């Protein structure tokens, strides 16, 4: 249990509600900053302003998945207040205070380093990325249906990257009856594609593989769909870029060629905020329980 552990939830969106529910059930002492416009109250969690929190009392801080912006501001869907995490404020928290965030940002890296506080980046974890691939795939299917006038069944679909998201996409689009071809850069991924019964090719040969592509889904966070590649693609193709911003597509050139290309960050939060919240809440609660039980053991020794 997290009894008497003071956890500060700093901003966020609907996903944080799942986190609040989960940590509340574990009996944590929760302070919620950035939830003043949320029409829901939680027994055992109090809505407060940042200046009402004594940093020295905070055991852990939970940030939104986006962390902070370049000036330290924290996104808060349920508040119009400006919330900022500063180095000075962080420096007053206990040394063992850990910050949990989806991703880090240069600002967060800098202030946490200067204040000597650890930042745990949940989205870098394999388990979170694999669980998140489930709503990402469902969101991708939704996007493809909305933006094309053909069925996925029977369509020529190219998927770029066979990482945690790419693997789930290949499996789902194949199961829907698409003719799937996957672009990879490692021989072991060619072997995996073979085992899964889908065609594959090296990403360096992409330009020679796209002539009959009807749908192309990119998961590679690097420029791969260059103007040179796009010049070989039919103008009627649809590109869904799910890689982190700025994606891996030359969107300017795609537009010029008349290829519909969209980038869709945050699909899990968009199509399944409750599930996306539960994924984070489950991992977070395990990490917090582990952290505090280790700390108690150390204190006992």
Contact residues for ligand NAP, defined by CB under 6 A: 129, 132, 136, 161-166, 185-186, 203, 219-222, 242-244, 264-268
Minimum Å gap between C-beta 122 and ligand NAP is 12
Minimum Å gap between C-beta 220 and ligand NAP is 4
Distances (CA, A) of 13 to 1, 235, 236, 254, 270: 25, 37, 36, 33, 11
Shorter beta-carbon distance to ligand NAP: residue 45 or 159: 159
Minimum Å gap between C-beta 132 and ligand NAP is 5
C-beta nearest to ligand NAP: residue: 163
Distances (CA, A) of 190 to 39, 203, 285: 51, 11, 37
Shorter beta-carbon distance to ligand NAP: residue 112 or 165: 165
Query: H/E/C letters for each residue in the chain?
Result: CCCCCEEEEECECCHHHHHHHHHHHCCCEEEEECCCCCCCCCCCEEEECHHHCCHHHCCEEECCCCCCCCCCECCECCCCCCCECCHHHHHCCCCCCEEEECCCCHHHHHHHHHHCCCEEEHHHCHHHHHHHHHHHHHHHHHHHHHHCCCCCCCCEEEEECCCHHHHHHHHHHHHCCCEEEEEECCHHHHHHHHHHCCEEEEHHHHHHCCCCCCEEEECCCCCCECHHHHCCCCCCCEEEECCCCCCCECHHHHHHHCCEEEECCCHHHHHCHHHHHHHHHHHHHHHHHHHHHHHHHHHHC
Minimum Å gap between C-beta 136 and ligand NAP is 4
Minimum Å gap between C-beta 273 and ligand NAP is 12
Shorter beta-carbon distance to ligand NAP: residue 43 or 245: 245
Minimum Å gap between C-beta 268 and ligand NAP is 6
Shorter beta-carbon distance to ligand NAP: residue 28 or 242: 242
Shorter beta-carbon distance to ligand NAP: residue 55 or 265: 265
Shorter beta-carbon distance to ligand NAP: residue 105 or 264: 264
Minimum Å gap between C-beta 201 and ligand NAP is 12
Shorter beta-carbon distance to ligand NAP: residue 77 or 244: 244
């Amino acid at each position: 249990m997290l009894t008497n552990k003071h956890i500060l939830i700093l901003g966020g969106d609907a996903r944080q509600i799942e986190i609040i529910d989960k940590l509340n059930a574990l009996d944590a002492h929760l302070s919620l900053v950035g939830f003043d416009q949320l029409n829901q109250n939680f027994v055992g969690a109090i809505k407060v302003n940042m200046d009402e929190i004594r940093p020295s009392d905070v055991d852990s801080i939970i940030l939104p998945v986006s962390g902070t912006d370049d000036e330290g501001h924290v996104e808060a869907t349920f508040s119009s207040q400006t919330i900022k995490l500063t180095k000075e404020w962080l420096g007053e928290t206990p040394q063992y205070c850990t910050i949990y965030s989806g991703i880090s940002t240069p600002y967060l890296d800098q202030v946490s380093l200067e204040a000597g506080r650890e930042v745990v980046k949940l989205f870098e974890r394999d388990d979170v990325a694999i669980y998140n691939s489930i709503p990402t795939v469902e969101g991708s299917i939704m996007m493809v249906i909305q933006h094309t006038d053909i069925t996925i069944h029977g369509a020529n679909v190219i998927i770029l990257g066979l990482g945690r998201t790419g693997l789930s996409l290949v499996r789902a689009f194949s199961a829907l009856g698409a003719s799937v071809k996957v672009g990879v850069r490692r021989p072991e991924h060619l072997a995996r594609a073979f085992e899964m019964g889908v065609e594959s090719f090296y990403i360096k040969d992409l330009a020679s593989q796209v002539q009959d592509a009807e749908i192309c889904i990119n998961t590679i966070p690097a420029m791969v769909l260059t103007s040179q590649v796009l010049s070989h693609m039919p103008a009627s193709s649809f590109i869904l870029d799910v890689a982190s911003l700025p994606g891996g597509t030359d969107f300017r050139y795609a537009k010029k060629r008349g290829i519909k290309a969209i980038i869709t960050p945050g699909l899990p939060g968009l199509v399944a905020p409750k599930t996306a919240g539960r994924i984070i809440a489950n991992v977070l609660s395990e990490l917090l329980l582990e952290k505090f039980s280790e700390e108690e053991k150390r204190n006992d020794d």
